Structure 1
Amino acid sequence: MEEREQRRNLGDSDFDIEDALLDEAVTTVVKGAERLNRKWPELIITGIFGGFDVGLGILAMVLVKQATGSDILAGMAFGVGLLALKLAHSELFTEEFLLPLNAVIAGQGTWLQMLRLWAVTLVTNLLGGLAFMAIVVVALPDYHQTMIDSAVGYIDQPSLPVMIALALLAGATITLSTRMQQGSSDDVVAVVTCTISGLLVIGFGMLHGALNAIIIFGAMLAGADISIGDFAQWFAIVIPCNMLGGLLIISLPRVARTLRVLRGIRAASIPLEKAEEQAS
C-alpha cells in the first residue's frame, strides 16, 4: 500500500497513526504534564478541594439513602460529587492515573513528580474530606446513624478476596469514568457519566480509599465503633488495590495502545507541538 493511500485510510494526520489515537496520546500527555508540574500550593489546594467536592456528593448520598433506603438512588445522588470534581477542576485520588503516566513515558515529567502528585492528592483529599465531614456531623445530627451504617458496611467485609475485588473495581471504575469525561466536551455526557459511576460505586458497595474514608471519618466523628487501627488496616488493603485497578485494568492497556506515539514524543521524532496541531 502506498504511503498516501495508507494515510487516507488512517485519517488526516501526517503521522502513521489513527487520528483518534494521536488525539488521545497528545491530550493525555499535555494534561498530564500540567498536573505533574503544578507548584506545591496549587497541588495542595486542588487536592483539598477534591475532598470538599467529594464531601458534597457524600452529603447528597446520605440524604437520599436516609430518605429512600436505596443504595442505587443514593449512588446516583453521589454522582453530584464526581460532577463537582470535573466542573470545579479539583482532583480525586485514582482519578488521574492515565494522564501523568503518559506524560512521564513521553518524557514530559519524572517518576518522582508522579509519585508526588499521587501522594499529595491522596493526603489532601483526606484532609479536605475530614474538614468537610466535621461540619456535616455538627450540622446534621439526625443523619449520624445513616453515616455510621454506611461506614460499618465498608469496614466489615465478608472476606479478604471480596474486599480486594471491590477495591480493584472501584479504582478501575473511577479511572475509567474520568477518562470517559475527558473524551467529550459535552456537559450532558459528563452528567450521565458521573451519575452512572456513582450508581456503580455506591450501589455495589465498591471500596474506594479516598471516597469511603471520608464517609468513615464522618461516622467516627458521629460516634461509630470504628477504631483508628480498624481504619488503618482497611485503608492499607484498599489503597494499593485501588491503584492496581486503575493502573492495570484501565491505564496500562491504553498506554500500550499509544506507546509508539509516546516514545516518539520522548525521542523528539514526533514533535509535541506538531502533534498538537495535528490532533486539533
Structure 2
Amino acid sequence: MSKTSQRELGESDSPIEDALEDAFQRQLTEGTQRLHRSWREVLITGFFGGTEVAMGVLAYLSVLNATGNQLLAGLAFSIGFLALLLGRSELFTEGFLVPVTTVAAKRASVRQLLKLWSGTLAANLVGGWVIMWLIMAGFPKLHAQTVESASHFATAGLSRETVVLALLGGMAITLMTRMQHGTDSVPGKIAAAVAGAFLLAGLQMFHSILDSLLIFGALITGDAPFGYLDWLGWFGYTVVGNIVGGLALVTLLRLLRSKDRLQEERSDAEAESE
C-alpha cells in the first residue's frame, strides 16, 4: 500500500490539513489535465483566454473613461477574470502554481510545462490583439483613454519600481489562483477573481497579458507615442518579473508547505512507471 493510500485511511490531522490536502489533490487533478493537452487544445484555450481578458479591458476602459476612478475600473476588469474562471480558459500567468506543482509531483514533464506556457502566452496575445482591434473599431470614444492608460506601461523604463510592480503582478495573479483552488465554493472563487482584478488593474501592477492588450489597443488607434518595439522592451522584463514573482513569492512557498505530500506523489509516480 502506498504512503498516499495509508494517509487516506488514517485519521485526519486537523481541519486545516484536510483542507490543504483537498486543495493539493485538486491542483494535481487539474494540472495533469492541463499539461496533457494537445497543441491544438493549448492554443484554443489560450486564444479564448486572450479574448476574455480583452473583454475585461473593455469594461476597465469604459468605467475609467466615465468616472476617472482607477479603483472602480479595476473592479470592472474583474469581468475578464470571471470569464476565465467560468469559461475554463487559459491565461499564461495562471500557469505558475497548478502546473508547476504537477511537474514537481512528477505527474507531468518540464517539456509539457514549457509547451503550456509558450502556447498559452502566444495564443493569449493573438486572441487579445484581435478583440482589441474590434474594440478600438467599435468604441472610438475610448481611443484617448486607451492611449493614456497604455502609456503608463509602454513608456515605463526598467527601474526598481517597474521591476517590483512586475514581481507583485506575478504574485497577485498566482495568489488569486491559490485562493480559487483552496475552496470548492463558487462564490469564493468569484470573490478571489474580483480581488485579483482589483489588485492588478486597480493598482496598476505590471501584468504581461492585461497591460499588453492595453498597449495593443493604443497602437491600433494610430495615436500612440510609442511602437511595437517599445512594447517588446516593456514586455520582456515584465513577463520575467511575473514569472519570478509567481514562482518565488507564492508557488515555491506552497511547494515547501506540501513537501511531504509531494514526496509521496513522486514515489507513487515512480512506482507506477516501473
Letter in 2 for 1:10: D
What CA distance in whole angstroms lies between the structure 2 residues aligned with 1:239 and 1:36? 20
C-alpha distance after superposition, 1:138-190 (max 9, x if no partner): 11111100110000011233761000000001111011112211222323223
What CA distance in whole angstroms lies between the structure 1 residues aligned with 2:262 and 2:12? 22
- Equivalences for residues 193-232 of structure 1 within 5 A: 193-223=192-222, 224-232=224-232
What CA distance in whole angstroms lies between the structure 1 residues aligned with 2:228 and 2:95? 28
Letter in 2 for 1:248: A
**What secondary structure does 1:268 align onto?**
helix
Q: What is the match of residue 61 of structure 1?
A: 60
Q: What is the match of residue 85 of structure 2?
A: 86
Q: What is the match of residue 146 of structure 1?
A: 145
What CA distance in whole angstroms lies between the structure 2 residues aligned with 1:188 and 1:21? 19
C-alpha distance after superposition, 1:70-102 (max 9, x if no partner): 000000000110111000000111112111111
- Equivalences for residues 1-280 of structure 1 within 5 A: 8=11, 10-11=13-14, 18-157=17-156, 160-223=159-222, 224-268=224-268
TM-score by length of 2: 0.91
TM-score by length of 1: 0.89
Letter in 2 for 1:75: G
What CA distance in whole angstroms lies between the structure 2 residues aligned with 1:194 and 1:20? 20
Count of matched residue pairs: 264
Q: Aligned-pair distance for 1:250? A: 0.7
Percent of aligned positions that are identical? 37
**Structure 2: which 5+ residue stretches go unaligned?**
1-9
Kept in 1, the 8 Å contact 2:75–2:197? The answer is yes
Structure 1 residue ranges, 4+ long, deviating more than 4 angstroms after superposition: 269-272
* CA RMSD in angstroms, aligned pairs only: 2.2
**Structure 1: which 5+ residue stretches go unaligned?**
1-6, 273-280
Q: Aligned-pair distance for 1:18? A: 3.1
What CA distance in whole angstroms lies between the structure 2 residues aligned with 1:183 and 1:261? 16
**What secondary structure does 1:153 align onto?**
helix
Q: 1:151 to 1:52 in 2, by over 3 A?
A: same
**What secondary structure does 1:230 align onto?**
helix
Kept in 2, the 8 Å contact 1:105–1:263? The answer is no
Q: Say which is worse superposed, 26-35 or 76-85, in terms of deviation.
A: 26-35
**What secondary structure does 2:92 align onto?**
coil
What CA distance in whole angstroms lies between the structure 1 residues aligned with 2:185 and 2:59? 24
C-alpha distance after superposition, 1:23-77 (max 9, x if no partner): 2222211211111100111111000000011011001001100000000000000
